[in-house]
Structures are given as structure tokens and as C-alpha cells.
Amino acid sequence: LGLLLNVSGFVNTLTTELLLTGAIVGVLISCKFLAAFITKQCFGYNWNETMTMWSLSLPQVAATLAAALVGLNAGLIPDSVFNTVIVLMLVTAILGPVLTARFARKLPLPKTKLDSKTAMWGVTNDVESSISSRDIEFNLEKQNSTLAIADSTDLAVVPRTVPTHSNQPTSSNPPFTVLVPVSNPHTERYLVEMGARLARHESGMVVPLSIAKAHVHMDEPELELEIAKSQRLLERATAVAEEFQVKAKTIVRVDDDVSYGISRAGKEQDASLIVMGWSPTTSLQARLFGNVINSVFWSAHCPVAVMRLLEEPINIRQILVPVKNITPQTLRTIRFAQLFADTNKAQITCLHVGSRAMTAEQIYIFESELAEILSQSHPQVDLIIKTIRSDEPAEAILKAARSFDLVILRSLRRRTVAGLAVSDVTTRVISQLSSSLILFGEPNSPHWIGVDNYLA
């Protein structure tokens, strides 16, 4: 949007028609405020909401300019009024965002509802119903408390510790099955060990899977060599599972597509979880259309945990889980972290990075709500909730991660031409993180219930 302006006439209007300019600008701002005030009285909004509503309605740019220009060309308004409209545009376009930035940040955090079918990953039905029957609401008007706040250079925040108690699976639940696709001998042991630990914790089984790429003719020597390679990988996987006294069911699958072969095998075996190794996107094809991880995340029927383990899982004692807000997806990521932490008595730290404008009341309410929800879940592990203030969340997470053995991030199921889309913060953390990493993703179907009944 642009316009041609007679500068000399514009300056002349400001000097000779200052009263007209002030009157038009003042009347518009007053009328906008009056409309917001009447709305406040009718619907019971507080002052921060009212001022935000007023500031959002102030800017007068595109439609105002178009109407004024038409009026000027038609001879309905003089140049002085048109120039006053230009001043009005400048004033309101600047004043509106400034006021919004001041008052909108004081608004309470939005209300989040937890659906009884999808909010929990690994929680008993009785606890699930008690949690999902109520809403999470951050009401700053009813809270009066103080909390020590740290900025991005100080992580020593007063933590909230969730009480712990033991939780054992029941025999009435269906078997917990962990599918572990293997292809790289160098990362195979850590992946199978992780799957075996999770399966043993839930009295389940681990299913090592190796995909042999299909050929046009099933009797080609190249295919026989791939099958033999797959069998050797699975023999080593079985040996690792036996070390942890976990039942293993090995599968060699011949498939045209590796990623869909993994997803199909997971569905056929009724897998509760798929554990995969990390593979960087290096080839041109992977950059354009996504790699195996992208496709499995998109097509799998159960949760997928993609792991880049730099040390043996038994040595992981400190786990960091960044938490942006309290949503069903975030809670299920924390459930997965609890499940793994309970296998080797690790400690979890849930890190919430808020803006520097976040108040002490908002921090207190956020931590209280999260602690209350997690205190009713199973399994219970040593868990700490921390909040820091920083306008650079990726930098804050990377700094905090230096003192942790493992970072668990959540993947978003937004499919693009180039594969799975993750946030800019997650992308930066993944690319610069020097510790072990797990990217946890969930099924694309909104009707997925998960493994709620496995942790009774």
C-alpha cells in the first residue's frame, strides 16, 4: 500500500489546521476507547483485557486511506482533511502496537482442556478421568504469591518437586511391545537396550526389525545378501535383549519402502512404541522429500521415539524436557520421559522458558498446575519443574542442557513437501545440542488413545 503525498501541503496542514488534526485524531481515539469500555461493562472484562481490545482496534490504515483517497478524488473532502487522515494513520499505526505490547502481556494464559482420550500417555484410567474432568485455567486474579525468578543467565530457580511413589503394571493389560528397526551395527546396541529396558519395565516384549529392500525378482543374489545381513543384525539384537531378560521376536521384512515397511510392521505387531536411530538429512532427495524418520513419524499408528544416544542408556541419569505450555501433547512427552526415567532411577527436569515479561504470578500458576497434574500420574519419578525468563528460548535450552545427559523434545505432526516440520526452536536445539537426544512424536490420528492402560 502506497500513496502520493504533497509534502508542502501536508506541512501546511499541520501548521495551519492543527486544531482540526487534533480534533479528528482525538475523537477517533476517544470513540474507540468508549466502545471498548462499553464492551467491558457488558461482558465483565478486566482492565487489561479492555485496554488490549482498545489498542487492537486503534490502527486505521488501509481502509481509511482508501476511503479518504476516493473522497479526495471525488471532491467530497478538501486537501486539509486528507492530510489530517494521513496524520491519523501515522498516530494510530504507532500507538496501537505500543499499547498492545504493554497490556496484552498482562493477560492471563489461555484455558486448556484435556480430552480424556488423548491427554495422557501412560496414565491409569481412574487418574485420567479425575484429571481430564477439569480444566486447566490460569486465573491471575485469584492468585497472590511470590516466586524467585531467574533470567537467561541464571538457572537457579526455586524448583517444584513432584512427590514420588511406586507404580506397577497389572497383568490385565495387553502386552507392551517395542518395535526397534535396526540397520546400523554401530548404533544397534544402544537402541535395542533402550527398547529392552522400556519393555522390561512394562513386562512386555521387544521386536527387533530389519528391512531388506525389495527387488523386482525375489531370487536375485543382492536380495539374498541383504536378508543375510539383516539376520546377522537381528542375532545381535536378540543377544542384547537376552542380557536384560526380555522376550525378543525378530522380524526380517522385504519391502519396497523402508519407512512404510517400519510403519506396517508396527501395525501388524500392534506395537506400543517405535524406537528408531537418528539419521541426518544429507542427500538432496532427503532434503526435498524427507527422510525415513519423517515418513515414519507421519505414517506410524503409535508413538515414535527417534534417538541419538551418545552413551549407554544405563548411564543417563539427568533428563531435560523443555515445556512450552501445558497441552495433551506436552504431557504425553513427559509421560514418556517418566517411563524411561523409571527404568534406571533417573531425574527429570521440566524446563519452561517464558518471556522476560512473564510475571511471578504467571510462573507460580504454571508450575503449580503442571506439578498438580504430574503428581497424579504414574510412574512417579524424581521430577523437578523449573522456569526461566528469556526472549531466546533455544539459547536458554542449549545452555541448560549442558548439565544434562539427555534432552527429550517433542515433534510436531505437520507434514510439508520436505518432510516433517518442527519449530525453529527445536531445529536450532537439535543442530547445536551436544548431548544425547530423543525426538518424541505421536500418531497423526486424532482418535489415538495411546498406551494409557499399560501403566496401571
Q: How confident is the model at residue 109 (pLDDT cuts 50, 70, 90)?
A: low
pLDDT tens for 174-209 read 689 999 999 888 889 999 999 999 999 888 999 999
First vs last Cα of the chain: how many Å apart?
Answer: 61
Q: Which long-range contacts (CB under 8 A, 24 or more apart) does 33-38 make?
A: none
Side-chain half-sphere exposure of 113, counting CA atoms within 13 A: 4
Q: Give the pLDDT mean for 136-157.
A: 38
Share of the chain above pLDDT 90, in %: 34
- Asked if the model's pLDDT at residue 312 lies above 60, the reply is yes
pLDDT value of position 90:
85
pLDDT value of position 294:
80
Cell numbers describing residue 160? 517444584
pLDDT tens for 322-364 read 998 888 888 889 989 999 999 888 999 999 998 888 888 888 9
d(CA 304, CA 334): 14
Q: Give the pLDDT mean for 4-26.
A: 77
pLDDT value of position 4:
62
pLDDT value of position 388:
92
Cα angle: 445, vertex 448, 449; to 5 degrees: 165
Cα dihedral 83, 88, 91, 96 sign: negative
d(CA 269, CA 448): 16
- Asked if the model's pLDDT at residue 87 lies above 80, the reply is yes
> What class, spelled out in words, does domain 177-271 have in CATH?
alpha beta
Provide the 10 A C-beta neighbour count for residue 201. Answer: 20
Q: How confident is the model at residue 5 (pLDDT cuts 50, 70, 90)?
A: low
Between 8 and 48, residue with greater pLDDT: 48
Q: Give the pLDDT mean for 12-31.
A: 84
Contact 54, 33 (CB under 8 A): yes
CA 68 to chain CA mean position, Å: 45
The CA dihedral of 68, 70, 76, 80, to the nearest 10 degrees, is: 40
- Asked if the model's pLDDT at residue 453 lies above 50, the reply is no
Which CATH superfamily includes the segment(s) 109-174+307-456? HUPs (3.40.50.620)
pLDDT value of position 125:
37
Residue ranges covered by each domain of the chain: 7-106, 109-174+307-456, 177-271
Q: Give the pLDDT mean for 431-451.
A: 70
pLDDT tens for 50-60 read 999 999 999 98
Q: How confident is the model at residue 288 (pLDDT cuts 50, 70, 90)?
A: very low
For 251-265, the DSSP string reads: EEEEES-HHHHHHHH
Between 156 and 106, residue with greater pLDDT: 106
Q: Mean of the per-residue pLDDT values for the chain? A: 78
Q: Give the pLDDT mean for 69-91.
A: 84
Q: Do domains 109-174+307-456 and 177-271 have the same CATH topology?
A: yes
pLDDT value of position 153:
39
Q: Give the pLDDT mean for 255-277.
A: 91
